[in-house]
């Protein structure tokens, strides 16, 4: 039963300023799915950028991309080998993999359907068009030749959606939950993209590594649209530790983890009952601040372990948001279990 | 598609809404018909395309759920409006108000004193067999004593040119959002025709709906918390639920968003905590509203909702149990119901209905099976429907036996020749059958939509207007004919 205390806390709110927990959750996931589609496209483009720069004799490890998704088992069930075309198909167009670009867009579209009453029409139209366009592209097959055009289309359209949100959605809780979803997903995906570096895309024998190391970091930067900004901020040649510090700790570059967390924290401060979630953000930030950048840059295994740890922090942060805002007051779960 | 020549248009013996029997446009349709005739084939095609683009852009859809996949289909729409002269509409409007007022008095009586039964007008056994009577609602006092706050009545015009009421939908009638969107599309496609101000506007509905819902609030104050309760995204009318919520600026909730507290009040789960709900416009059927009282398996409703309603802590529109007055048997009694409660003759005619439980009616039906449509009289009984003129002698004989064996389960009506209206199809203008669903709001006062939703059977000769089965819709114009005067010249200019 619902406790009297919960009723006492129930205050009539102006409907413009508060939203249903269910709708907030849909909005949050909508933003995560859009960001995930975009960042997955960026993840693939790391390899894409590398291929343009590396000597032909170098073998690129497409298998490692699958490892980063954390869905290696599913992949191996579905495909005979981790070759380029299978990896592309799995990550871009396979609906059986829930993290594929097509699955993310499809999920974003379904979430939008249930929130059509509060999201401006143009945003629905853009996502609808992107989904239909990508579906058609996917139906004709994402071949290595069409790969770059496909990835660019996805990245551009997701950016357009973010632009529409920026320009047409009022500053209400709807925007706040979009921001929470987007920034958390972005922080998470940026760490995964950094993980490409640690994942041994290139042969690790020390003699071979050095000449290509910088190329690799550069491709990570480019895939995050961060090359120019890095040059402006750092004003140094591309060096592993500097790039890593830039992507993890820089407070001004929009795709750096620290920047995402800061914007997420700002959004949280506009919400009630935000203590637990803000504490989790603080834990993440502490973790970032304590990172031993030079060691991580030099030792792929340490970097990989670090990425794993910070992703656990992100999961805790997500849980805190979910428990606080999507589950309703604690008394509710009691009520539901009866 | 070719240029339109109205002289070649054939209504094939049916009453046509725009073109009179002599092949000339009716007075209220002159302007429209001239405008359309002035368009060449390319312009006509452009109009059609513009409407399709507008519908896609505005995202007007209806949902079809088949084989586990949900399909959002574009709303099928015909650009040629259906026109009713203002004078005729005013009479229809008065008739609808009278009808819904009497039906609400009837429902309220059934759940309280049942005077109409005691006075021998309505047989008790019919109530006993009603599948939509809810004993759980007996004795409940509703705001303004109204049960069917939102009613959608289906009207059809027979070959005699008279509008008949075919049925009243008193539970969760849908379609009003399409009525409003059809007008928006038409305004985009043919803005010239709206310049003279003779076409009556329709866009007042959502504010009327809001005011009516607000007037039902159990708490005094001018800012009641109103929500629309939807079964969710898989419901075929989900678009409409979202549309109305958006237009009225109220929350669109699902059952899981609501909770009833120890104080028997309804709350919704918000990001900021719980918020009290005063009025629920529910688009969920009675049986799924509250698992505590109705279907215990239902996940669409909210446990305790009926408790809160009975205590007067929340208002529900439409009231649970309102459906008792929209079955086919009650329909046959509507003229008597109007006479009984209002002491008036019905302004709008019913389609003559014969209830086989009465001996006179039964004998008439058995003698005239070849002219009648025989239907099951209530949802629990009966074995399908028979369209007398279309079936074999053997089939009619079979139905005669069925009727004799269980007369209470059957009723019959004459077959109607539904009116037609010009409809733009791929190669030009052809006649298609139409009906009309106006919506009636009943609160402190009564409001009728200006016209309603005209549904059209897009397949040649078909009478099925349902959108999931090849039906489409048209904008409905109520036109002030007396104000037409000097229009031809204006229309010429508009066409160029």
Q: Report the CATH number that the domain containing residue B227 is assigned in CATH.
A: 3.40.50.11290
Give the range of the structural domain holding residue A312, as residue numbers without chain letter: 21-329
In a domain, A314, yes or no: yes
Domain count, chain A: 1
In a domain, A325, yes or no: yes
In a domain, B277, yes or no: yes
Q: Which residues of A touch B299 (CB under 8 A)?
A: none
- CB nearest to B269's CB, from A15, A17, A328: A328
Q: Could you tell me the pLDDT band of residue A8, with boundaries at 50, 70 and 90?
A: very low
Handedness of CA B308, B313, B316, B320 (dihedral sign): positive
What is the C-alpha separation between A67 and B200, in angstroms, rounded? 65
What is the pLDDT at residue B427? 80
Average pLDDT of span A1-27: 62
Taking the CA atoms of residue B301, residue B307, residue B308 and residue B313 in that order, the dihedral angle to the nearest 10 degrees is: 150
What is the pLDDT at residue A202? 46
- More confident position, B181 or B1: B181
Average pLDDT of span A245-273: 95
What is the C-alpha separation between A275 and B341, in angstroms, rounded? 62
Residue pair B379/B437 in contact (Cβ under 8 Å)? The answer is no
Same domain assignment for residues B304 and B357 = no
pLDDT at B248 over 70: yes
Average pLDDT of span B130-136: 90
The proportion of chain B whose per-residue pLDDT surpasses 70, expressed as a percent, equals 93
The proportion of chain A whose per-residue pLDDT surpasses 70, expressed as a percent, equals 84
What is the C-alpha separation between A31 and A181, in angstroms, rounded? 5
Whether residues B275 and A18 touch (CB distance < 8 A) is answered with yes
Whether residues A325 and B259 touch (CB distance < 8 A) is answered with no
Q: 3-class secondary structure for chain A?
A: CCCHHHHHHCCCCCCCCCCEHHHHHHHHHHHHHHHHHHHHHHHHHHHHHHHHHCCCCCCCCHHHHHHHHCCHHHHHHHCCCCCHHHHHHHHHHCCCCCCCHHHHHHHHHHHHHCCCCCCCHHHHHHHHHHHHHHHHHHHCCCCHHHHHHHHHHHHHHHHHHHHHHHHHCCCCHHHHHHHHHHHHHHHHHHHHHHHHHHCCCCCCCHHHHHHHHHHHHHHHHHHCCCHHHHHHHHCCCCCHHHHHHHHHHCCCCCCCHHHHHHHHHHHHHCCCCCHHHHHHHHHHHHHHHCCCHHHHHHCHHHHHHHHHHHHHHHHHHHHHHHHHHHCCCHHHHHHHHC
What is the C-alpha separation between B182 and B473, in angstroms, rounded? 8
Nearest CA in chain A to B226: A15
Average of per-residue pLDDT values in chain B? 89
Nearest CA in chain A to B223: A14
Q: Which residues of A touch B59 (CB under 8 A)?
A: 116, 121, 124-125, 128
What is the C-alpha separation between B23 and B20, in angstroms, rounded? 5
Whether residues B250 and A15 touch (CB distance < 8 A) is answered with yes
Residue pair B142/B215 in contact (Cβ under 8 Å)? The answer is no
Q: Could you tell me the pLDDT band of residue B487, with boundaries at 50, 70 and 90?
A: very low
Average pLDDT of span A66-72: 82
Residue pair B478/B84 in contact (Cβ under 8 Å)? The answer is yes
In a domain, B304, yes or no: yes
Instruction: Give me Rg for the CA atoms of chain A.
Output: 21
Is the CB of residue A125 less than 8 Å away from at least one CB of chain B? yes
Q: Which residues of A touch B250 (CB under 8 A)?
A: 15
Q: Could you tell me the pLDDT band of residue A59, with boundaries at 50, 70 and 90?
A: low
Same domain assignment for residues B290 and B223 = yes
What is the pLDDT at residue A16? 47
Compute the residue count for chain A.
Answer: 338
Give the β-pairing of B386-387 and B420-425.
Answer: unpaired
Listing DSSP states for B293-311 in one string gives TS-TT-SSS-TTHHHHHHT
In a domain, A5, yes or no: no
Q: Which residues of B touch A106 (CB under 8 A)?
A: none
- What contacts B154, CB < 8 A, 6 or more positions away? B165, B166, B167, B168, B169, B435, B436, B437
Residue pair A225/A79 in contact (Cβ under 8 Å)? The answer is no
Q: Which residues of B touch A18 (CB under 8 A)?
A: 270-272, 275
Give the β-pairing of B386-387 and B77-85.
Answer: unpaired
Q: pLDDT by residue (tens digit) across B99-113?
A: 999 999 999 999 999
Whether residues B271 and A121 touch (CB distance < 8 A) is answered with no
What is the pLDDT at residue A200? 53
Q: How far is A244 from chain B (nearest CA, A)?
A: 37
pLDDT at A106 over 80: yes
Q: How far is A147 from chain B (nearest CA, A)?
A: 29
Residue B261: how many CA atoms within 13 Å on its side-chain side?
Answer: 22
Q: How far is CA B352 from CA A85, B161, B349, B374, in A?
A: 70, 16, 8, 12
3-class secondary-structure state, position B329: helix
Q: Could you tell me the pLDDT band of residue A1, with boundaries at 50, 70 and 90?
A: very low
Those residues of chain B whose CB sits closer than 8 Å to some CB in chain A are 57-59, 72, 225, 232-233, 238, 242-243, 245-246, 249-254, 256-257, 259-263, 265, 267-276
In a domain, B194, yes or no: no
pLDDT at B54 over 50: yes
Average pLDDT of span A79-101: 90
Q: Which residues of B touch A17 (CB under 8 A)?
A: 272
Instruction: Give how far the C-alpha of residue B209 lies from the chain's centroid of Cα atoms, to the nearest Å.
Output: 15
Minimum mean pLDDT among A201-205, B52-56, B321-325, B391-395: which range? A201-205
Listing DSSP states for B411-468 in one string gives EEEEPP---EEEEEETTEEEEEEEEEE-EEEESSSEEE-SS-EEEEE-STT-----GG
Instruction: Give how far the C-alpha of residue A82 lies from the chain's centroid of Cα atoms, to the nearest Å.
Output: 23
What is the pLDDT at residue B491? 39
Q: Could you tell me the pLDDT band of residue A136, with boundaries at 50, 70 and 90?
A: confident
Average pLDDT of span A77-86: 89
Q: Which residues of B touch A125 (CB under 8 A)?
A: 57, 59
Give the range of the structural domain holding residue B398, as residue numbers without chain letter: 352-414
In a domain, A14, yes or no: no
pLDDT at A20 over 60: yes
Is the CB of residue A330 less than 8 Å away from at least one CB of chain B? no
Minimum mean pLDDT among A81-85, A193-197, B312-316, B322-326: which range? A193-197
3-class secondary-structure state, position B3: coil
Query: Domain containing B375 — which CATH number?
Result: 3.30.1490.270
List the Cα angle B446/B449/B450 in 5-degree steps: 125
In a domain, A286, yes or no: yes
Nearest CA in chain A to B58: A121
Whether residues B257 and A21 touch (CB distance < 8 A) is answered with yes
What is the C-alpha separation between A153 and A161, in angstroms, rounded? 12
Whether residues B271 and A4 touch (CB distance < 8 A) is answered with no
In a domain, A305, yes or no: yes
Q: How far is CA A47 from CA A88, A230, B131, in A?
A: 11, 19, 66
- What contacts A207, CB < 8 A, 6 or more positions away? none
- CB nearest to B233's CB, from A12, A114, A121: A114
Longest dimension (CA), chain A: 72
- What contacts B58, CB < 8 A, 6 or more positions away? A121, B181, B184, B185
Q: pLDDT by residue (tens digit) across B257-298?
A: 999 999 999 999 999 889 999 999 999 999 999 999 999 998
Cα-Cα end-to-end distance for chain B:
19
- CB nearest to A19's CB, from B233, B245, B270: B270
What is the C-alpha separation between A18 and B361, in angstroms, rounded? 59
Helix axes A227-234, A206-223, angle to 10 degrees: 100
pLDDT at B496 over 90: no
Is the CB of residue A28 less than 8 Å away from at least one CB of chain B? no
Average pLDDT of span B474-491: 69
Residue pair B291/B328 in contact (Cβ under 8 Å)? The answer is no
Is the CB of residue A99 less than 8 Å away from at least one CB of chain B? no
Q: Give exposure, B284-299, as e/b (b: 16+ Cβ within 10 Å).
A: bbbbbbbbebbeeebe
Compute the residue count for chain B.
Answer: 496
pLDDT at A203 over 60: no
What is the C-alpha separation between B285 and A8, in angstroms, rounded? 31
Minimum mean pLDDT among A328-332, B108-112, B375-379, B422-426: which range? A328-332
Picking from B285, B313, B341, the residue at the C-terminal end of a domain is B313
Nearest CA in chain A to B254: A22
Whether residues B242 and A116 touch (CB distance < 8 A) is answered with yes
What is the C-alpha separation between A264 and A328, in angstroms, rounded? 21
Picking from B313, B341, B375, the residue at the C-terminal end of a domain is B313
Question: Which of the residues B271, B280, B281 would you substitute to probe the A interface, choosing the one with the greatest number of A C-beta atoms within 10 Å?
Answer: B271
Average pLDDT of span B383-404: 86
Q: How far is B262 from chain A (nearest CA, A)?
A: 6
List the Cα angle A218/A219/A221 in 5-degree steps: 65
In a domain, A233, yes or no: yes
In a domain, B34, yes or no: no
Instruction: Give me Rg for the CA atoms of chain B.
Output: 24
What is the C-alpha separation between A279 and B240, in angstroms, rounded? 42
Minimum mean pLDDT among A294-303, B163-172, B203-212: which range? A294-303
- CB nearest to A19's CB, from B57, B232, B271: B271
Picking from B414, B431, B448, the residue at the C-terminal end of a domain is B414
Q: Which residues of A touch B265 (CB under 8 A)?
A: 7
Task: Name the DSSP class of B147.
Answer: S
Same domain assignment for residues B300 and B356 = no
Domain count, chain B: 2
Q: Which residues of B touch A117 (CB under 8 A)?
A: 242-243, 245-246, 252
Same domain assignment for residues B299 and B234 = yes
Residue pair B440/B446 in contact (Cβ under 8 Å)? The answer is yes
Which secondary structure element, helix H or strand E, spans residue B251, and what is its range? strand B251-253
Taking the CA atoms of residue B90, residue B95, residue B97 and residue B100 in that order, the dihedral angle to the nearest 10 degrees is: -150
Q: Which residues of B touch A124 (CB under 8 A)?
A: 59
Same domain assignment for residues B293 and B361 = no
Q: Could you tell me the pLDDT band of residue B381, with boundaries at 50, 70 and 90?
A: very low
In a domain, A336, yes or no: no
What is the pLDDT at residue B71? 66
Whether residues A114 and B268 touch (CB distance < 8 A) is answered with no
Question: Which of the residues A116, A267, A333 would you substitute to probe the B interface, choosing the one with the greatest number of B C-beta atoms within 10 Å?
Answer: A116
pLDDT at A12 over 60: no
Helix axes A147-168, A121-139, angle to 10 degrees: 170
pTM for the full model? 0.83
Is the CB of residue A18 less than 8 Å away from at least one CB of chain B? yes
What is the C-alpha separation between A186 and A184, in angstroms, rounded? 5
């Amino acid at each position: 039963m619902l406790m009297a205390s919960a009723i006492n806390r129930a205050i009539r709110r102006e409907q413009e300023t508060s939203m249903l927990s269910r709708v907030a959750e849909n909005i949050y996931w909508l933003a995560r799915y859009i960001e995930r589609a975009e960042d997955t496209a960026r993840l693939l483009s790391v390899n894409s950028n590398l291929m343009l720069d590396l000597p032909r004799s170098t073998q690129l490890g497409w298998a490692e991309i699958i490892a980063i998704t954390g869905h290696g088992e599913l992949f191996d069930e579905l495909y005979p080998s981790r070759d380029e075309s299978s990896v592309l198909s799995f990550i871009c167009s396979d609906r059986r993999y829930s993290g594929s670009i097509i699955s993310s867009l499809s999920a974003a579209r379904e979430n939008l359907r249930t929130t059509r009453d509060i999201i401006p029409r143009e945003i629905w139209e853009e996502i609808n068009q992107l989904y239909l366009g990508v579906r058609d592209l996917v139906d004709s097959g994402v071949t290595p030749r069409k790969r770059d055009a496909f990835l660019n289309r996805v990245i551009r359209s997701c950016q357009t959606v973010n632009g529409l949100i920026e320009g047409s959605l009022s500053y209400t809780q709807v925007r706040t939950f979009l921001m929470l979803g987007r920034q958390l997903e972005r922080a998470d995906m940026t760490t995964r993209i950094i993980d490409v570096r640690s994942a041994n895309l290139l042969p690790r024998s020390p003699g071979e590594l050095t000449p290509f190391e910088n190329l690799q970091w550069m491709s990570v930067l480019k895939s995050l649209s961060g090359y120019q900004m890095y040059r402006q901020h750092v004003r140094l040649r591309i060096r592993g530790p500097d790039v890593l510090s830039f992507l993890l700790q820089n407070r001004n570059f929009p795709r750096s983890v620290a920047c995402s967390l800061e914007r997420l924290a700002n959004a949280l401060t506009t919400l009630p009952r935000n203590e637990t979630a803000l504490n989790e953000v603080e834990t993440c930030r502490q973790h970032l601040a304590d990172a031993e950048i030079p060691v991580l840059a030099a030792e792929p295994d340490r970097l990989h372990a670090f990425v794993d740890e910070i992703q656990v922090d992100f999961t805790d942060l997500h849980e805190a948001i979910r428990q606080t805002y999507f589950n309703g007051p604690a008394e509710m779960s009691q009520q539901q279990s009866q | 598609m070719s240029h339109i020549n109205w002289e070649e248009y054939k209504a094939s013996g049916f009453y046509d809404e725009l073109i009179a029997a002599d092949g000339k446009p009716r007075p209220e349709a002159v302007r429209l018909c001239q405008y359309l005739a002035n368009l060449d084939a390319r312009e006509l095609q452009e109009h059609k395309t513009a409407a399709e683009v507008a519908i896609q852009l505005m995202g007007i859809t209806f949902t079809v759920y088949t084989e586990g996949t949900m399909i959002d289909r574009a709303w099928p729409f015909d650009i040629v409006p259906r026109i009713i002269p203002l004078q005729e509409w005013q009479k229809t409007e008065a008739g609808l108000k009278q009808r819904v007022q009497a039906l609400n008095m009837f429902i309220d009586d059934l759940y309280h004193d049942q005077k109409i039964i005691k006075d021998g007008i309505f047989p008790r056994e019919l109530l006993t067999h009603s599948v939509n009577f809810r004993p759980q609602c007996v004795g409940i006092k509703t705001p303004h004593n109204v049960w069917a706050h939102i009613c959608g009545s289906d009207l059809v015009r027979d070959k005699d040119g008279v509008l008949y009421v075919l049925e009243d939908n008193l539970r969760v009638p849908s379609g009003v959002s399409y009525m409003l969107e059809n007008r928006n599309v038409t305004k985009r496609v043919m803005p010239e025709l709206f310049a003279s101000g003779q076409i009556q506007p329709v866009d007042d509905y959502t504010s009327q709906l809001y005011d009516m819902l607000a007037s039902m609030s159990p708490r005094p104050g001018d800012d009641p918390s109103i929500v629309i309760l939807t079964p969710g995204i898989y419901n075929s009318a989900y678009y409409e639920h979202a549309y109305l919520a958006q237009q009225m600026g109220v929350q669109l909730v699902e059952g899981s968003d609501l909770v009833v507290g120890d104080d028997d009040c309804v709350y919704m789960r918000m990001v900021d905590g719980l918020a009290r709900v005063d009025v629920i416009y529910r688009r969920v059927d009675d049986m799924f509203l509250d698992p505590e009282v109705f279907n215990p398996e239902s996940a669409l409703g909210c446990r305790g909702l009926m408790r809160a309603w009975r205590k007067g802590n929340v208002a529900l529109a439409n009231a649970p149990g309102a459906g008792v007055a929209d079955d086919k048997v009650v329909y046959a009694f509507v003229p008597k119901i109007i006479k009984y409660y209002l002491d008036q003759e019905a302004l709008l005619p019913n389609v003559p209905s014969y209830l086989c439980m009465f001996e006179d009616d039964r004998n008439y039906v058995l003698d005239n099976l070849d002219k009648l449509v025989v239907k099951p009289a209530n949802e629990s009984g009966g074995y399908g429907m028979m369209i007398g003129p279309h079936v074999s002698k053997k089939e009619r004989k079979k139905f005669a036996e069925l009727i004799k064996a269980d007369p209470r389960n059957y009723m019959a009506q004459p077959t109607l020749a539904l009116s037609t209206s010009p409809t733009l199809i791929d190669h030009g203008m052809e006649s298609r059958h139409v009906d009309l669903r106006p919506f009636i709001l009943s609160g402190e006062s009564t409001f009728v939509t200006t016209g309603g939703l005209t549904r059209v059977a897009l397949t040649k000769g078909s009478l099925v207007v349902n959108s999931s089965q090849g039906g489409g819709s048209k904008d409905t114009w109520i036109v002030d004919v007396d104000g037409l005067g000097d229009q031809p010249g204006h229309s010429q200019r508009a066409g160029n």
